[in-house]
Amino acid sequence: MRDLNVLLVCYVFPPIGAVGAMRPASLARYFPGEGIRLDVLTARNPSTVGTDPSSLKEIPSSVVVHRTWTLDLPFGLKKAIKRLVVGRRAVQSAAAATNQDGEGGLLKRILGNIFLPDPQVTWYPVLARAARRIVKKRKIDLVLMTVPPYSTLLLVERLRKDFPELPIVVDFRDEWLTTAFEHVSFLFTRSARARRLASKIEASAVTNSTAVVAVTEAARRQIRARYPQQPESKFQHIANGFDSTKLRRVAAAPPTGDKIVVTYVGTVYTTTEPSTLVDAALLLPPDLRSRFLFRFIGHIEEPRFRESLLRLGESVELKGFLPQREALALMDETDYVLLVTHDPLNVSGKFYDYAGSGKPILGIVHPEGEARQLLEELRAGWWAPDQDVEAVRKLLVDAAERGKAPFADFKPDTAKIAQYERKVLAQRYAALLHSIAGGEGPAHQDMQPGEKET
């Protein structure tokens, strides 16, 4: 079987430290060992919360990275504009203000007409030209693009027109129209016009793609249900995972220290907002609450979420964004890891790092969601419904009763968890791409690795 020349399109890529960079980074790390010669097309200056220079060292030298400039606003400036336009009120107020076309202030309407389907649409003109050039010059056999940002999906129709026979695979890290559209805090994307445009873009991308990959089975079914005229085989499921080379599975003894440390790793935004946890913790007797330390590592999307957490006083510690290795090191020094999700379809990447670490999970999750089902299947911890304050209070009481020795009744299914190791998943993904491309691509010579600016 000859090597397959693949172009991976992703808005964020190492050294960017955002969670969205982890899936493309893991594919880039392991694809070269699976008969794939990989080019990566990414943004040189993406709008993200932070960088992790060490992550770039893990990308094989054989991977060719093309970095293009984008007109997307810097992360800090974008957040400042959002506060100016939307204000500091709850997302519900912002959603209500943009519920119909033409509502909201003049500035909001102007920006809403520019930044559709998302603010990263400013990357598309450069992206389209660069992708077309790379496909020709590098003799690409297959294009794999991972979203969000969902404006990247505009590239599918463009490439299909230019290269009618080119296999194109769309990778949805988050389902768009049912969950992300409503819950993720994009700028100006909740108007009726925005939804119509989003539906049109997704339909075109699905129609013109060769395959569609979702990271959960629930998301796969949801996307597939919108396009019954498409063949079932077009819709695939390859989960996120964890990297065993970065995680140290805990031994039989829990960490030392007086506090019961519960650690959350990742961004706090609408679909992971912590109000139920805070309300439940505040119902605990003061002496019991004082035994806990809730540690949050990562960016907090909105001031109201930070203000909610700070109600916990000395029981909470906000660490902010940290490079992945530092975050994982702190996760090793914890008794429990905290999973909060109100999303019924998607499973955050942190879940797999949690499970892979061997740390018991305290889950505050949608009771009918994919995260709850997976948590139970892997026996990875304990959970309570995300809107049930009393159940979450009981979850914390039970954790306190176990104290710092939860391992007696914590028996994760390590064999099933091992199936979510990133190298294993990358092997599955590579096999899928080879099958889509016919298992054999033309032999291409004189392809030198390295960094390129396109």
E strands along 282-416, which residues?
292-297, 316-320, 336-341, 361-365, 381-385
How far apart, in whole angstroms, are the C-alpha atoms of residue 326 and residue 381?
Answer: 23
Whole-prediction pTM: 0.86
> What was the pLDDT predicted at 95?
40
Domains defined along the chain, listed by start:
4-241+421-453 (3.40.50.2000), 260-416 (3.40.50.2000)
Q: CA-to-CA distance for 234 and 224, rounded, in angstroms?
A: 9
The amino acid that residue 11 corresponds to is Y
Those residues of the chain that have pLDDT short of 70 are 1, 73-114, 183-190, 247-257, 404-407, 439-454
| Burial group, residue 313, by CB count within 10 angstroms (0-12, 13-18, 19+) | exposed
Residue 436 contacts by C-beta under 8 Å, 6 or more apart in sequence? Answer: 142, 167, 169, 210, 211
Instruction: Tell me the residue ranges of DSSP E strands in 224-276.
Output: 235-237, 260-265
- Reported residue count of the chain is 454
Q: What confidence score (pLDDT) does residue 208 get? A: 98
Which of these, 17, 112, 105, 123, lies nearest to 66 by C-alpha position? 123
Both ends of the chain: CA-CA distance in Å? 30
Please list the residues that pair with 452 across neighbouring strands: 66
Per-residue confidence (pLDDT) for residue 331, from 0 to 100: 87
Q: How far apart are CA 218 and CA 237, in angstroms?
A: 9
Helices 324-332 and 349-357: angle between axes, nearest 10 degrees: 40
Q: Tens digits of per-residue pLDDT, 314-355?
A: 999 999 988 888 888 888 889 999 999 999 999 988 999 999
- Which CB contacts under 8 angstroms, 24+ apart, belong to 368-371? 368/344, 369/218, 369/341, 369/343, 369/344, 369/345, 370/216, 370/217, 370/218, 370/219, 370/344, 370/345, 370/346, 371/339, 371/341, 371/343, 371/347
**DSSP-derived 3-state class of residue 451:** strand
**pLDDT for the residue numbered 107:** 53
Task: Report whether 345 contacts 369 (CB < 8 A).
Answer: yes
Q: What is the pLDDT of residue 251?
A: 45
Angle between helices 217-225 and 370-377 (to 10 degrees): 150
| Closest by Cα among 373, 376, 368 to 411 | 376
CA pair distance 245, 343, nearest whole angstrom: 29
